[in-house]
Chains A and B, each alone.
Chain A
Amino acid sequence: MDTLIASFQMIASVEVIVVIALSSLYGLTIGCIPGLSATMATALLVPITFYLSPVAAVAAIISASAMAIFSGDIPGTLLRIPGTPASAAYTGEAYAFTKRGEPEVALGAALWFSAIGGIFGTLALMLIAPALAELALQFSSYEYFWLGCLGLLCATLVSSGSKPKAMAALMLGLLVSCVGMENAAGTPRFTFGSIELLSGIDVIAALVGVFAVAEVMRAMIAQPAPVIPRRKFGSILAGQWALTRQYKRQMMRGNIVGVMIGALPGAGSDMAAWVSYAISARFSKTPQKFGTGHPEGLVEAGSANNASLAAGWIPSLLFGIPGDTITAIAIGVLYMKGLNPGPTLFTQNAASMYAIYWVFIIANIIMIPLGIMMIRGTTYILQVPRWAIMSTVLLCCAVGVYAVTNSMASVLIAAGFGVVGYGLDRYGYSVAAFVLGIVMGPMVEENFVTSLIKSGGSITPFFDRPAAAVLAVLTLAGLFGPLLFRLIGGMRRRSTAH
């Protein structure tokens, strides 16, 4: 009880409250600028946390990253340019709402289910962190390899249109991820002698290219879309309660998947969004509605990416092993502030720990009013003439990708990927599958190669560990299941015809 009161005093200071408010606004702004991910929002905060008290520093990171993950949905919905990789999975779906003139429905769902997912993830962090961390520690590269494969299987599920083309786009994405020397062997591949390419193709630069630059390119040859007449939006949240009741199963599934993926080191909110959206499409009663402005997938994926964000702190706080790229940065800040991760943090620094929980809950609650303001403000973008939006977007892209790597080469990469992204989309190759390949490639390859190094080239350990076996069965079922079903279905039809 004393620690509870002490923790409350820690966050009730003027400094912490001001920091939460400012970093929330900062996160909302950064998230909705194409080219700046939630990870980047966190990285750019590091120098500033230097001057803050420990709890305020952690509060800044928590609020900014939670807001940025939600806010990444805004440009995705309004302009078809996802602000963060976590939003890229369902950008097409959300944009379909805008084309229909109902952007506030998609954005309201993104906001409401982001907040719910965030709170669910926080509860998981508070109540079952040790158990989840225990589970996470059982995962070795064999399990991660299968997990990565499961992620890749989502490619055909998140993309509408031709399946071979989606697979081809995925493979192209995986090839892009091979560039550079960030592979297990530390050997430069496909770098054509360039020092800049040694670090590989930055995911954000590629994402900005295929979505934002390609969108500006499309604008160059297409007529401006007819301006949607401004009508008065109803309450943004009113419809959400109905959605919550209608899709409560999907929401819970998204929350749970998000927490699981978040708690596993090395897989973050990006993967959580993709996997949840794919699960949603796979088990939906109306899969044909996906991609046409259907809220079901948004509910599930929106909950999942924010739930995973909170759960990512579990292995970070307990073992100093980051759950995702955001907590990888946050761990550095924890050390810097004397909140060294480890079980002692929960015993010796219990008040600080509770303070961190409080910050999570506060951040996810104030996300709703701030988010509503943001939605009401940003939907005016649809009234702004296209030339003004697109020209500003192009400069934001250039500055944003430069800020990620501090290298002008990233701007050139974004320009090149603009051409690639336009071409893929124009000829029916799924851009979402392409991005999935770039995001997941390093994880799949690294775990594949290190597993083989560990086993001395044998593949038995891929199957004889219990967790690995379960994941392997899931992956193989996902891969061959549809084929099998079709074969059995075909045989049955033939036998009944006889």
Chain B
Amino acid sequence: MLNADRIGGLLLSGLGIACIAASIQLPRIPGQPVGPAVFPIVVGVALCPCAVLILLSAGAVPEEEMIGDDLPAQYSPAMAALRLLLPPVILVLYVLAIEPLGFLIAGFSVIMATAVLLGGRMIYAVPLAAVMTVAIHSVFGTLLRVPLPDGLLALPW
């Protein structure tokens, strides 16, 4: 955790300074004694001492008190990082695909991809994805009138 906290502290102090620098450039509003810059500057200023404290106490916290530090050594670090980023990447692909392909195809693919990546067997994942996609579409699209794009494939109801 020593290095992680050093990097975290540096990142946070950098962010605090960047935030102050960016806020100073915000325009002043005529007729308002305090403009849009004040609050982000206050936050940025408050962030810096927190970052310094984190830097100073880096390594001081005993290992077992760290939260979420229970990674199994099942994957190599590179592989683990790759797998970690998969859910956000799937969501990004979903956003790109939903307009041309429609919700049913995009949603089915999201469930299929995630299920298989998490070790689900094809034979179970396919029916699950099909049922869930149709169910979600019926609840949100049909009952609650959320405008889910139809794309290539639309439900009959």
Contacts and interface: CB of A to CB of B under 8 A. Distances in A.
Contact of A216 (B26, B40, B75, B114): B114
B146 A217 contact: no
B47 A221 contact: no
Contacts of B139: 29
Given A187-B36, A394-B91, A414-B91, A171 B47 contact: yes
B43 interface: yes
B88 interface: yes
A387 B115 contact: yes
B134 to A, nearest CB: 12
Contacts of A288: none
Interface in B78-131: 80, 83-92, 94-95, 98, 103, 107, 110-120, 124-125, 128-129
B29 A418 contact: no
B95 to A, nearest CB: 5
B156 interface: no
A453 B57 CA distance: 40
Interface in B35-55: 35-36, 38-40, 43-44, 46-47, 50-51, 53-54
Contact of B34 (A47, A162, A392, A452): A452
B90 A428 contact: no
Contacts of A171: 16, 43, 46-47, 50
A217 B71 CA distance: 12
A221 B118 contact: no
Interface in A426-460: 426-429, 444-445, 448-449, 452-453, 456-457
Interface string A399-431: 100110010100110111011001001111100
Nearest to B33: A457
B140 to A, nearest CB: 5
B118 A161 contact: no
A427 B5 contact: yes
Given A164-B53, A390-B118, A395-B107, A223 B72 contact: yes
Contacts of B70: 222
Interface string B5-44: 1001000100110010011001101001111101110011
Nearest to A448: B39
Residue of B57, B65, B91, B128 with highest tally of chain A CB at under 10 A: B91
B36 A185 contact: yes
Nearest to A449: B34
A221 B71 contact: yes
A411 B47 contact: no
A187 B50 contact: no
Contacts of B69: 426, 428
A155 to B, nearest CB: 11
Contacts of B19: 175
Q: Which of B54, B112, B113 has the most CB of A within 10 A?
A: B54
Contacts of B119: 224, 387
A365 to B, nearest CB: 26
Contacts of B86: 217, 220
Contact of A168 (B51, B144, B145): B51
B32 A185 contact: yes
Contact of B87 (A187, A216, A392, A445): A216
A226 B23 CA distance: 49
Interface in A160-199: 160-162, 164-165, 167-168, 171-172, 174-175, 178, 183-185, 187, 189-190
A145 to B, nearest CB: 11
Given A402-B146, A411-B95, A428 B40 contact: no
A216 B118 CA distance: 9
Contacts of A307: none
Given A189-B26, A398-B110, A164 B8 contact: no
Interface residues of A, number: 69
B94 A422 contact: no
Given A171-B50, A396-B136, A412-B95, A388 B128 contact: yes
Q: Which of B29, B139, B144 is the most central at the interface, judged by chain A CB atoms within 10 Å of its CB?
A: B144
Nearest to B91: A415
Contacts of A381: none
A187 B54 CA distance: 33
Given A161-B67, A175-B19, A399-B140, A223 B83 contact: no
A294 interface: no
B4 interface: yes
A68 to B, nearest CB: 13
A286 interface: no
A319 B1 CA distance: 54
A415 B65 CA distance: 28
A163 to B, nearest CB: 8
Contacts of B34: 448-449, 452-453, 457
Contacts of A221: 71-72, 74-75, 80, 83-84
A386 interface: yes
Given A165-B54, A398-B110, A220 B33 contact: no
Contacts of A105: none
Contacts of B23: 189
A217 B85 CA distance: 7
Nearest to B46: A171
A299 interface: no
Interface string A309-331: 00000000000000000000000
Given A161-B67, A174-B39, 17 more contacts: A44-B144, A44-B145, A164-B57, A178-B40, A183-B36, A190-B22, A219-B118, A387-B119, A388-B120, A394-B111, A415-B88, A418-B87, A425-B67, A428-B66, A429-B8, A448-B34, A453-B33
19 contacts: A44-B146, A174-B39, A178-B39, A183-B39, A189-B40, A213-B91, A217-B86, A220-B118, A387-B120, A391-B120, A391-B132, A394-B114, A396-B136, A399-B146, A399-B148, A403-B146, A415-B89, A452-B34, A453-B34
Counting from the closest, the 8 A-B pairs by CB-CB distance are A387-B120, A387-B118, A391-B114, A164-B53, A415-B91, A415-B88, A168-B50, A457-B33
